[in-house]
Chain A
């Protein structure tokens, strides 16, 4: 197992495990509600045009998340 890294360092099509959420408390509520919890597996499906948000998949939930926010999520590959 490697050291934790930012979610944005993953390539499209790769998946990893969530290690930590370094976001403000309110946004953490929203992320938890959407299924972002430590230990969960997460996959990057695609990236939007013009360097836009990421299309992510956690279990049966698909979510879009801006790259600047995704950078605050730590993962373990």
Chain B
């Protein structure tokens, strides 16, 4: 088997190319010498099974950031037949430096000049043949996003792969010790081969920036846009969730219930009220999640996130964080785990630990499901989006409190330089791929711990054998009773307590657990819940759900990224404390005010 590695600077379109080459077959895997998982895919290229590995985006092969070390360690511990250097053609004058560095290491490579469409639009012309001759690598121009030039580039890669033989592994001390001065060569090659018009600015980006980065309107605009997005997710998502829940309910009543009625009572209850109700309730939220991630995909690909970093950096620096941390919080609205891994670009340990401490407060899509469910059940359709938005604001409140409390402990003076790429729109293909990816992600979680979670909940609700489900005599009743001195001051009843405990594993389990505990699903469950608790209790429960540990995967990531047990313990204990204090304060105050 042969191996190809993708190397390029951040924002060069490396992932887009990787996705185009691998289709949807990518998997994360471990690699010798590298402590983090990397994406890879197996392809048949020129008749040989070939492994394509996506390395993290880097600025310099000699740099000291975590990502740069990962790339170096990968090159020193794995044989590679061919490197694909991905560079943004519109920024060739600086991105070529990586190709020159790889050349001086003597590695076999192909230079792929990506975003040829944008370069053409800006009037930049590149003499690829001449460039290839001066550089010593074959060069191809393409647009990984739209596919222009892709077939030719692919053929070039195949023919280079056939010619190439696996290079001996590099040595960290010897090969990376000499820092070749690439500066002069870079300037001379660019002078000979690239023609840039004097004014090559992207007019669209300039016009948009004049509004979106405006000194006074920039920030209010940003928050308005975010509010409208969340409102849109709710407005489009809630009816869809309703429709899917109705379908799943119908399937249960028409097909499953008669089918399972021949089974013994306990088994019938286990399959129908345990597994099916639990998983179906969670599954009804898949449309909301897909819509949410489609919006996220537009925002992420648009280039607006780095503008958010620009607008918020001054405020974030007062909290001991920076603009990147703000972007990671926004990414955390999708899922906390990749947001935590995104902090690898930070070099200062203090800054990184502080950022990782606040990211889990980000209202992730799993918690969004719980909140869409609870707000729909207990608030009017006009109140619900506002309640939801208030929880997003709570994310920022908890981040501010936490950062102010801990910034003395984790301080840093790390300099910050971030690229502001031009505004772009994702293609339909990229959006569909993203939506599909989220469905897959959900199914993986569903088959793993969501099913396991609801099964466990069913057991504690129905055991010991013969008790009234979820009654005081059941195991869940005992647990609720045991925890009640702690959680009843927050208005959280024994049933909700059980849901919270299992929600520690993953937040999707919370609604699955409620379905199992109350023995209902869909709209029946929402109505049933509204009879059991009032809005004050519901909001207190949502505050607790928002602030305490998001899920086991987040804890595992915190542990893996920080490599510290004490820090992981702090990241577990502090949110629990804050969740308890916030919920109890809210509940007691609301009751005191007569609500």
Using CB atoms and an 8 Å cutoff, list the residues of chain A in contact with chain B. Answer: 23-24, 26-27, 29-35, 37, 45-53, 55, 58-66, 68-69
Contacts and interface: CB of A to CB of B under 8 A. Distances in A.
Contact of A48 (B65, B97, B201, B313): B313
Interface residues of B, number: 46
Contact of B417 (A24, A45, A47, A63): A63
B60 A32 contact: yes
Contacts of A69: 415-417
B242 to A, nearest CB: 41
In this complex, which of A33, A46, A55, A66 has the most chain B Cβ atoms within 10 angstroms of its Cβ? A33
A1 B143 CA distance: 43
Interface in B91-133: 91, 93-94, 97-98, 122, 124
B419 A29 contact: no
Nearest to B205: A62
In this complex, which of A55, A62, A66 has the most chain B Cβ atoms within 10 angstroms of its Cβ? A62
Contacts of B58: 33
5 tightest A-B CB contacts, nearest first: A33-B59, A52-B314, A35-B94, A50-B314, A29-B60
Interface stretch (B212-220, B373-381, B575-583): B212-220
Interface in B305-348: 306, 309-311, 313-315, 317, 323, 347
B90 A53 contact: no
A37 B181 CA distance: 12
15 contacts: A27-B415, A27-B417, A33-B59, A34-B419, A46-B213, A49-B215, A52-B313, A53-B310, A55-B209, A60-B90, A63-B417, A64-B309, A64-B418, A65-B417, A69-B416
Contacts of B183: 37
Contact of A53 (B91, B196, B416): B416
Interface string B183-216: 1000000000000100011000100010001011
Contact of A29 (B64, B93, B201, B219): B64
A30 B60 contact: yes
B349 interface: no
In this complex, which of A48, A50, A65, A69 has the most chain B Cβ atoms within 10 angstroms of its Cβ? A48
Contacts of A33: 9, 58-60, 63, 94, 97-98
Contacts of A58: 94
